[in-house]
Amino acid sequence: MLNTDPIFNTDNISNENTSFNIQSRVISNEGYTYNYDYDSLQSNKETLPGSTDEYVKDDNELNEKLRISIIGLGYVGSVSCACFSSLGHRVIGVDADHEKVDSINQGISPIVEPNLGSLLKEGHQNKRLTATNDINQAILDSDITLISVGTPSNKDGSCNLDYLKNATKQIAQTLSTKNTYHLVVFRSTIPPTTTKNVLIPILEEYSNKIIGKDIGICFNPEFLRESTAIDDFYHPPKTVIGAIDDRSAEYGKKLYNSIDKNIIITSIEAAEFVKYIDNTWHALKVSFGNEVGRICKAMAVDSHQVMDIFLRDKKLNISPYYLKPGFAFGGSCLPKDTRGIVHMAQQNHVNIPIIEHINQSNADHIEHTINLISQLNVVRIGVIGLTFKSDTDDLRESPSLALLKRLLISGYDIQFYDPIINSERILDQDPLINQLLNDARCNDVLELVDNNQAIVITHKKKYTEQIARMSPKDKHIIDVVHLENNLPESDHYHGLCW
């Protein structure tokens, strides 16, 4: 089985003061040195385009040159051809467009991208890089095939897979005549499960080979930005390889061992989806910053000064904090201040659709929890944790309390347990609702578990993890805080959005 334990070290590597000297290529990557003029290699020190630090590779890694075919010579394919050939690998670019093929074969860039032309020229001169229209021969002359064909949007926003399916079929037909192991690496942006449900069946049907035994499969999303693609290749923010098995993963890692020590090995589906999440997050960041800018300008505040201060917070603002899927937010600050900034925008006639819909999205998340519970065919529900988060007595805009009220109003028999909330607390301004909620109090968590068919856990504590793990199998556990990664898999455990 493939080991999919993720590696979370994706710290950015500084690339300040980088230069591209064709005669002296050096790149920094946490103390390692690369020399990419393999034909004249005199020692185990390498140099690559980028900076001034050195990286020493072991002899086995130095001596291993891969034979790579790259299908599709658009933006990603052309950059990949140039950079992989600069690492000493033998690269064959493939495209149906004769002009692109001719450009690569003359060492000329078919696209506008800084420093790409010099790398293509060197690959051509060193005879490590060629291009062809003959996909069959390219596959037969290589051991790894990278597929980087376009997957444009359809009118409805869905992903057009026509080019990718056609390329996969041609690869499979060629592999049917090949007797050695071949790794197929998909790089085109596609929705999760596409490789498993669409592309692998095509490979199996037209190759008559056994996936895993004869053909390895990886999905390797690219994170190249136009105008900085060469630097991004050698200084990747992360390298992600989704693989069907360990053999595919280990073979795929050989592509990047010389430029990234912290390659992330994961499932095919996670690798497919992370590109969408990255780009959506980047789009959200741009739009959020612009909405802040519009409000600031309307109120005569320096938006860059505000955001410069905002960005100095590496603990909460620019960090993994708040980004893991979990329950809705609450408390005295986030809901109130979000409403406040929306009001300020309205007063100044500024349209901020993203920020304006944040609280609605939060309310929808509570509704999502209700919908999950409604599918369980239960009547008696216990909620463990009522404050907006653990280790506080703050009930202001608590999503747990909002959930309890919704369950009560929807006709469920409810109980809650929270040792911090005493009987004197007002849980709702409506006297009747307040009385009904207080009547639902349970002072013994084990009694709550015994009394109810479903248990909603909203606080992440050791005792709640024990309850999730050790409750009788006839009790539904609804986990809205992602208690831990290794809870027993069963039909009675329900993660809110995992």
Contact 175, 202 (CB under 8 A): no
- List, as one string, the DSSP characters of 441-471: B-S-HHHHHHH-SEEEE-S--HHHHHHHHHS
Contact 399, 388 (CB under 8 A): yes
In the numeric block, the tokens 């809205």 are attached to 480
Query: Distance between CA 482 and CA 478 in Å, rounded?
Result: 10
SS3 content of the chain, % helix, strand, coil (to 5): 40, 15, 45
Nearest to 110, CA basis, from 121, 119, 99: 99
- List, as one string, the DSSP characters of 168-234: HHHHHHHHTT--S-EEEEE-S---TTHIIIIIHHHHHHHH---BTTTEEEEE----PPTTSHHHHHH
Contacts of 317 (CB under 8 A, 6+ apart): 310, 311
Instruction: Determine whether 159 is an active site residue.
Output: no
Query: Distance between CA 363 and CA 272 in Å, rounded?
Result: 29
* Catalytic residue (one of 296, 333, 442, 497): 333
Angle in degrees, 0-180, between the axes of helices 431-439 and 399-409, rounded to the nearest 10: 100
Helix ranges restricted to H, 36-161: 59-63, 75-86, 98-105, 116-125, 135-140
List residues with catalytic annotation. 333
